[in-house]
Each structure stands twice: as structure tokens, then as C-alpha cells.
Amino acid sequence: MNSTERAEKMKRNVHSNAYFSEDLVRQGLALRGHSEIEGNLMQLLLLRTSEYPELKHYMNDGKYFPHDIINELHMMGMFVLKCILSDIKKSGKFSLIADEVSDVSHKEQFCISIRWVDSDFEIDERPVELIHVPKTDAKTLTKIIIDCLNSL
């Protein structure tokens, strides 16, 4: 296989990765699970290996999530957030929900969600931030909420 063929296969594999990642992000689903193999992205890619054997080799190589894909996912996430903020601005009123939980590794996670009523009088709620917090005192959590709101 020459370098052009290898590059074409790599391009198809990256496109599969981006396609599945975009679909998972659009549905608000996590890409990764408690372990790498349990994640939604990995499971979708493994499912596709039966159709595309070169995808399995690509995944075994460990480079199935290159930096460009991560940047693209970040841009997609920002686009989704802009759409959510546009809906919230149209409604004129919203509430903020902040919840702290420990993950399976006992690290404190802080989730900030926004709830609003849309033009069809349907209640919508979307998470806008999930962040690891070093401490769960009022001062730290208040700063995180203010920083999150300022970044929107």
C-alpha cells in the first residue's frame, strides 16, 4: 500500500470518528465512559470495524482521537452552546441549577445547567458546564458559577 492509499484510509477513519463524535454531541451523549472501552464513541467505532477492517487497525494504533478532532469537537460544542443561549434569550427568563456530585473515582464534579421555557411553553434544561472542583466550599462554588456565567 502506497502513502496515498494509506492517507486515504486514514482520512476515511478520521471522518468516521468525526461523524460519530458529532452525532453523540448532537444528542448530548458522552463520548467516553467509565473506561475508554465502555465509551459511546469507542463502541460505535468498534461496531463499524466489521464493515471496515482498516478501522480496527486504526483504532488499535491508539491514534483514533487526534488533536484536530478534539478541536472540531470543541467548536461543535461551542456551536451547540450558542444555539442554546439563543433559545434562552428568546424566552427572556431562565433558572440556574448547580449540583455537585462525586464521580466513581471520588473526585468532586460540579454541573451547571440552565432551565427555561421555550416559545411552545415546553420546559427545556441543558447542562452548560461540568467541572472538577478542588473544594466544595461556598466561596469556590460561587466563583465557579460566576465564571461560568461570565463565559456565556
43 lies in which domain range? 3-65
With a cut of 80, say whether residue 84 has pLDDT above it: yes
Q: Which three cell numbers stand for residue 84?
A: 442554546
Q: Which three cell numbers stand for residue 69?
A: 478532532
**Domain match, 13 and 61 both:** yes
Higher pLDDT, 142 or 12: 142
Cβ atoms within 10 A of the Cβ of 109, count? 14
Q: What is the mean pLDDT of residues 75-84?
A: 79
pLDDT digits (tens, 9 = 90+) for 17-40: 666 666 666 666 666 666 666 677
**Domain match, 55 and 90 both:** no
Residue 134: phi, psi to the nearest 5?
-75, -35
pTM (two decimals): 0.53
**In this predicted structure, what is the pLDDT of residue 110?**
85
Domain CATH code at residue 98: 3.10.450
Quick check: 152 and 145 in contact, CB under 8 A?
Answer: no
Q: How far apart are CA 80 and CA 58, in angstroms?
A: 29
Number of domains in the chain: 2
Q: How far apart are CA 3 and CA 5, in angstroms?
A: 5
pLDDT digits (tens, 9 = 90+) for 94-151: 899 998 877 677 778 888 888 999 888 889 888 888 888 888 889 988 998 898 888 8
Q: What is the mean pLDDT of residues 46-55?
A: 72
Lowest mean pLDDT of 7-16, 89-98, 120-129, name the range.
7-16
**In this predicted structure, what is the pLDDT of residue 139?**
92
pLDDT digits (tens, 9 = 90+) for 51-79: 767 667 666 666 555 555 666 666 777 78
**Domain match, 100 and 138 both:** yes
Residue-wise burial string across 33-47, b where 16 or more C-beta atoms lie within 10 A, e elsewhere? eeeeeebbbbebbee
Evaluate whether residue 47 is within a structural domain: yes
